[in-house]
């Protein structure tokens, strides 16, 4: 695997650490900005909004200018570093909020272009494995990056955590400038060619499956803490350790799925959804048992988010893996994340109890499996992939 793939993974690690590290420094930010914990929590939502809406629009602009992927990624990382620096210097909530939206926009576009470069530097049969390394940066950010940012905040202040991400982004930009080869003239895809990919109904089917998989996972994950403490009986002090176990399961699952995603993307997603649905069902039924809850949490960690490499491999086989296709895929995944958490919360708000998000996850996993049935039931295509895409 080329070294540049690992640099792209480090880039995603840096950006995702910035996205979620606000959760670990809420006391510092509430005091520094003079706002409530709820308002600080909105800073994560603002980043996500920037990713979902602004990322594809910025990518469209870059494609309209026919900017090669390497140059586009360097521009985006420069923009990201500037926006993150504004956040590090912010003295009021309004400036911080604008900076978070800007970093979200740049982060989403970076993700899409990074995956496009990833597809360029490896052969077609290794794209899923390479994508698992890039996406692995996302998972390591929750396990390693956010805790490190929290420790830095506690010892040197919250601004130091933001500057640390700026330094990482600059380091990644320097490595990309040195290591990423220039795109050949034939590899530069314009806006019209990228937009043409969205006429492919199979691409939208792949997007739908991805959104439902992540929605099912986060409908449950978003409420793990109250379920584990309020139903399973774990102490509040054990939640960080339990989430750490879940994060470690994410990393392991991502490594395993990445190894086989190129050849077996559809079976991995199908069996993964079945395992996810069973784990969520058993969690809901036996939530009062600590042992059963812990086992379910590990299985959900192994098969939920780690289906990302298979999801990416499917999209890359369904359409040309250009920046816009990948950026919109990132947006769909974030929409699934937010929708799953929101629908799971509706069940609690309607009075169905803390376990209702688990049942919401089961329903979304079932819908995800249904969305794949037409592709699981048809015979493998004997023609080249380019023809199969447009059947």
What pLDDT score was predicted for residue 294? 94
What is the C-alpha to C-alpha distance for residues 106 and 59, in angstroms, rounded to an integer? Answer: 9
Instruction: Specify the CATH number for 3-188; select among 3.40.630.30, 3.40.50.970, 3.60.20.30, 1.20.1250.20.
Output: 1.20.1250.20
Are 261 and 128 contacting, i.e. CB atoms less than 8 angstroms apart? yes
What is the C-alpha to C-alpha distance for residues 6 and 205, in angstroms, rounded to an integer? Answer: 30
Q: What is the phi/psi pair of residue 378, to 5°?
A: -85, 155
What is the C-alpha to C-alpha distance for residues 365 and 58, in angstroms, rounded to an integer? Answer: 32
Dihedral-angle region of residue 23 (phi above 0 means left; psi in -120 to 50 means alpha; beta otherwise): alpha
Q: In terms of Cα–Cα distance, which of 14, 19, 85 is closest to 49?
A: 19
What is the C-alpha to C-alpha distance for residues 2 and 95, in angstroms, rounded to an integer? Answer: 39
The domain limits of the chain are 3-188, 197-388
Which ranges of the chain does DSSP label H, i.e. alpha helix? 3-20, 26-33, 37-49, 55-64, 69-89, 93-121, 127-140, 146-156, 158-179, 191-196, 201-221, 224-230, 239-285, 290-303, 308-318, 323-349, 356-377, 385-388
Q: In terms of Cα–Cα distance, which of 105, 179, 146 is closest to 247?
A: 146
List of residues 6+ apart from 377 with CB closer than 8 A: none
Q: Which residue has the tokens 């998989």?
A: 213
Q: Spelled out in words, what is the top-level CATH class assigned to the domain 197-388?
A: mainly alpha
Do 3-188 and 197-388 show the same overall fold? Answer: yes
What is the C-alpha to C-alpha distance for residues 202 and 193, in angstroms, rounded to an integer? Answer: 17
What pLDDT score was predicted for residue 187? 54
Q: What is the dihedral of CA 361, 366, 370, 372, to 10 degrees?
A: 60
Mean pLDDT per segment of 10 residues, for the chain of length 391 residues? 90 88 80 84 82 86 83 93 95 94 91 87 84 85 82 90 94 92 61 84 94 91 84 84 85 89 91 96 95 94 91 89 85 85 84 91 96 80 42 41
What pLDDT score was predicted for residue 384? 40
């Amino acid at each position: 695997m080329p070294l540049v793939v690992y640099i792209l993974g480090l880039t995603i690690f840096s950006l995702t650490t910035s996205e979620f590290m606000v959760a670990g420094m809420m006391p510092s930010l509430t005091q520094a900005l003079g706002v409530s914990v709820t308002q600080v929590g909105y800073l994560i939502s603002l980043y996500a909004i920037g990713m979902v809406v602004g990322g594809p629009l910025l990518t469209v602009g870059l494609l309209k200018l026919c900017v090669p992927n390497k140059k586009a990624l360097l521009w985006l990382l420069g923009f990201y570093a500037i926006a993150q620096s504004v956040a590090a210097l912010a003295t009021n909530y309004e400036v911080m909020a604008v900076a978070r939206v800007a970093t979200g926009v740049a982060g989403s576009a970076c993700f899409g272009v990074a995956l496009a470069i990833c597809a360029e530097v490896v052969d077609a049969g290794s794209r899923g494995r390479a994508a698992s390394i890039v996406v692995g940066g996302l998972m390591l950010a929750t396990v390693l990056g956010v805790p490190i940012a929290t420790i830095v905040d506690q010892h040197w202040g919250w601004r130091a955590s933001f500057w640390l991400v700026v330094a990482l982004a600059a380091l990644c930009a320097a490595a990309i400038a040195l290591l990423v080869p220039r795109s050949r003239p034939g590899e530069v895809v314009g806006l019209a060619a990228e937009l043409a990919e969205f006429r492919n109904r199979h691409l939208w089917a792949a997007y739908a499956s991805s959104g439902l998989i992540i929605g099912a996972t986060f409908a449950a994950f978003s409420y793990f803490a109250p379920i584990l403490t309020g139903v399973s009986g774990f102490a509040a002090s054990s939640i960080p350790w339990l989430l750490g176990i879940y994060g470690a399961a994410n990393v392991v699952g991502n490594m395993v799925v990445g190894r086989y995603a190129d050849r077996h993307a559809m079976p991995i997603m199908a069996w993964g959804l079945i395992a996810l649905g069973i784990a969520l069902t058993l969690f809901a039924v036996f939530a009062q048992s600590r042992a059963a809850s812990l086992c379910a949490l590990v299985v959900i960690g192994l098969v939920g988010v780690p289906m990302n490499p298979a999801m990416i491999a499917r999209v890359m086989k369904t359409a040309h893996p250009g920046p816009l296709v990948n950026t919109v895929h990132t947006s769909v995944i974030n929409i699934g994340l937010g929708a799953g958490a929101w629908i799971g919360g509706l069940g609690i708000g309607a009075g169905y109890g803390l376990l209702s998000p688990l049942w919401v996850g089961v329903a979304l996993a079932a819908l995800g499996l249904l969305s794949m049935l037409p592709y699981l039931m048809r015979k493998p295509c004997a023609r080249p992939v380019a023809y199969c895409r447009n059947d």
